[in-house]
């Protein structure tokens, strides 16, 4: 077992966490006598997303609510290929405490981080556990896994924030475009997740339903909708709901089947294209996209009457239904989500700073979330 020196913190450097772990296996079950909810929420992060051999990793968490303390811990599996070719994980470091951040009394917001010594060896899979305690001793926790050190299967999706079985999660694999260096691409991944995706509550609040991976094998995206797959595309789509090609150039982006493209540093494109790729949302702007009404929980309707009939369920007045038009052009489809400064991400408001998903889009997103929570993220789309 590793020992980590904890600057500024006294006492136990390494300890098994009996209050967190009912056993030393993974994933860590919650003891049944501790309620699942606390007056605190915790968000865990780490950087870099995929540390190299022995590269230092910063583990961090922030809790809010009524927070007494935070405990950060990890366990490490070694990854190996069995003689028969199967991929194996072997627990080599049981649950190991990194740091306990324990201010006097309770606080409304508590950050906690730790960068233990020399990092991790090649072929490691780290499972990070952040547990916040409220004043009653109840816990809120977050756990996920990421690769550390050289990854033994570089053609496969490399986990950077993985919560569980791909069948029960939305799986996004980021790959570099040919216009970006591998170094820039890798360094940007922290921001892609934590600044761009997690800016949106509908993703941040449900982040445990997502698995994020990357691959260094480049693909290419050219306007408009011309994708060149990476050589390992077949390996990626084994788990990917979408393979996201991230580029530096300013391009009109696209989703095509299990591919999407986006600028690497622009949340609006990333979230808009993810809306297509993960939730099969339709564009709500006119007039040069392809349009159709989804067979169920649509965000676009092929008649005014159909839009109006759906309005009450969405909490909108029927009068909000508007045909898609632009200047003198129009198409025979209707939207209900708002436009304007805080309008819908899938429509003309996409590039506005305050844009987010409208209720029609959110309804469709929630349906898929419910299916994932029920253990069936595939197939999509079909109707309830
Ligand atoms: Zn679009």
Length of the chain: 384
Distance in Å, CA 277 to ligand 1 centroid: 10
Looking at residue 22, what is its pLDDT?
A: 32
Distance in Å, CA 145 to ligand 1 centroid: 31
Task: Quote the CA–CA distance of 103 and 5 in Å, as a whole number.
Answer: 20
Strand, coil or helix: 360:
helix
Distance in Å, CA 346 to ligand 1 centroid: 6
Distance in Å, CA 159 to ligand 1 centroid: 27
Give the mean pLDDT of 143-156: 98
Task: Quote the CA–CA distance of 60 and 57 in Å, as a whole number.
Answer: 10
The DSSP letter of residue 219 is B
Distance in Å, CA 185 to ligand 1 centroid: 24
Q: Is pLDDT at 42 greater than 90 in this prediction?
A: yes
Strand, coil or helix: 149:
coil
Distance in Å, CA 168 to ligand 1 centroid: 26
CATH architecture of 1-151: Sandwich (2.60)
Distance in Å, CA 379 to ligand 1 centroid: 21
Split at pLDDT 50, 70, 90, the class of 5 is very low
Listed in order, strand segments (DSSP E) in 48-102 are 58-67, 69-81, 87-101
Distance in Å, CA 71 to ligand 1 centroid: 42
Angle between helices 267-279 and 359-373 (to 10 degrees): 60
Distance in Å, CA 45 to ligand 1 centroid: 30
Distance in Å, CA 156 to ligand 1 centroid: 28
Looking at residue 236, what is its pLDDT?
A: 98
Distance in Å, CA 61 to ligand 1 centroid: 34
Tens digits of residue pLDDT in 319-350: 999 999 999 999 999 999 999 999 999 999 99
Distance in Å, CA 246 to ligand 1 centroid: 16
Average pLDDT, the chain: 90
Which residue in 123, 121, 132, 33 sits closest to 73, CA to CA?
132
Distance in Å, CA 281 to ligand 1 centroid: 8
pTM, whole model, 2 decimals?
Answer: 0.89
Give the mean pLDDT of 145-151: 98
Distance in Å, CA 143 to ligand 1 centroid: 33
Looking at residue 383, what is its pLDDT?
A: 65
Distance in Å, CA 331 to ligand 1 centroid: 15
Candidate from 10-24, 39-53, 97-111, 370-384 with smallest mean pLDDT:
10-24
Distance in Å, CA 357 to ligand 1 centroid: 13
Distance in Å, CA 282 to ligand 1 centroid: 7
Q: What percent of the chain has pLDDT over 70?
A: 89
Distance in Å, CA 345 to ligand 1 centroid: 9
Task: Quote the CA–CA distance of 204 and 214 in Å, as a whole number.
Answer: 19
Give the mean pLDDT of 257-271: 97
Distance in Å, CA 225 to ligand 1 centroid: 11
User: ∠359-363-364 over CA atoms, to 5°?
Assistant: 125
Distance in Å, CA 297 to ligand 1 centroid: 18
| Contact assessment for residue 167 and residue 376, using Cβ atoms and an 8 Å cutoff | yes
Which residue in 260, 254, 227 sits closest to 241, CA to CA?
260
Looking at residue 381, what is its pLDDT?
A: 55
Q: Is pLDDT at 142 greater than 60 in this prediction?
A: yes
Looking at residue 24, what is its pLDDT?
A: 34
Looking at residue 15, what is its pLDDT?
A: 30
Tens digits of residue pLDDT in 203-225: 999 999 999 999 999 999 999 99
Distance in Å, CA 278 to ligand 1 centroid: 12
Task: Quote the CA–CA distance of 265 and 278 in Å, as a whole number.
Answer: 19
Burial (CB < 10 A; 0-12, 13-18, 19+), residue 123, is buried
Q: Is pLDDT at 17 greater than 60 in this prediction?
A: no
Could you tell me which residue, 37 or 28, shows the higher pLDDT?
37
Tens digits of residue pLDDT in 347-367: 999 999 999 999 999 999 999
Strand, coil or helix: 344:
strand
Distance in Å, CA 272 to ligand 1 centroid: 6
The DSSP letter of residue 154 is T
Looking at residue 379, what is its pLDDT?
A: 61
| Contact assessment for residue 152 and residue 90, using Cβ atoms and an 8 Å cutoff | no
Distance in Å, CA 49 to ligand 1 centroid: 28
CATH architecture of 154-279: 3-Layer(aba) Sandwich (3.40)
Task: Quote the CA–CA distance of 381 and 280 in Å, as a whole number.
Answer: 7
Looking at residue 274, what is its pLDDT?
A: 97
Looking at residue 33, what is its pLDDT?
A: 46
Split at pLDDT 50, 70, 90, the class of 117 is confident
Looking at residue 275, what is its pLDDT?
A: 96
Which residue(s) pair with 256 in the sheet? 259
Split at pLDDT 50, 70, 90, the class of 39 is confident
Domain ranges of the chain: 1-151, 154-279, 282-384
Split at pLDDT 50, 70, 90, the class of 37 is low
Distance in Å, CA 328 to ligand 1 centroid: 21
Distance in Å, CA 330 to ligand 1 centroid: 17
Split at pLDDT 50, 70, 90, the class of 160 is very high
């Amino acid at each position: 077992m590793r020992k980590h020196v904890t600057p500024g913190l006294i006492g136990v450097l390494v300890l098994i966490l009996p209050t967190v772990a009912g056993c030393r296996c993974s994933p860590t079950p919650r003891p049944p006598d501790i309620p699942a909810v606390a007056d605190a929420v915790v968000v865990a992060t780490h950087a870099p997303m995929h540390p190299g051999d022995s590269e230092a990793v910063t583990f961090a968490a922030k809790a809010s609510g009524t927070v007494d303390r935070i405990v950060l811990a990890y366990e490490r599996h070694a990854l190996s290929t069995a003689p028969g070719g199967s991929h194996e994980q072997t627990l080599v470091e049981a649950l190991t405490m990194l740091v306990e951040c324990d201010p006097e009394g309770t606080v409304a917001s508590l950050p906690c981080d730790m960068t233990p010594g020399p990092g991790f060896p090649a072929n490691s899979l780290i499972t990070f556990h952040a547990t916040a305690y409220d004043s009653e001793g109840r816990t809120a926790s977050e756990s996920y896994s990421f690769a550390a050190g050289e990854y033994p299967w570089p053609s496969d999706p490399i986990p950077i924030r993985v919560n569980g079985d791909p069948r029960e999660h939305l799986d996004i694999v980021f790959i570099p475009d040919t216009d970006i260096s591998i170094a820039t691409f890798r360094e940007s991944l922290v921001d892609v997740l934590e600044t761009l995706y997690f800016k949106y509550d509908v993703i941040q609040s449900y982040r445990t339903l997502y698995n994020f991976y990357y691959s260094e094998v480049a693909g290419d995206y050219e306007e408009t909708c011309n994708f060149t797959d990476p050589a390992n595309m077949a390996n990626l789509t084994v788990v990917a709901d979408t393979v996201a090609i991230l580029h530096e150039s300013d391009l009109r982006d696209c989703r095509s089947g299990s591919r999407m493209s986006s600028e690497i540093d622009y949340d609006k494109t990333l979230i808009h294209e993810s809306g297509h790729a993960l939730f099969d949302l339709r564009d709500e702007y006119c007039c040069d996209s392809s349009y159709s009404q989804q067979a169920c929980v649509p965000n676009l309707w092929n008649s005014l009457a159909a839009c109006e009939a759906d309005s009450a369920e969405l909490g909108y007045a029927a009068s909000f239904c508007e045909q898609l038009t632009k200047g003198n052009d129009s198409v025979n489809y209707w939207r209900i989500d708002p436009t304007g400064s805080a309008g819908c991400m899938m429509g003309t408001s996409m590039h506005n700073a305050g844009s987010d998903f409208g209720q029609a889009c959110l309804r469709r997103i929630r349906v898929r979330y419910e299916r994932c929570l029920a253990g069936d993220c595939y197939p999509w789309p079909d109707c309830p």
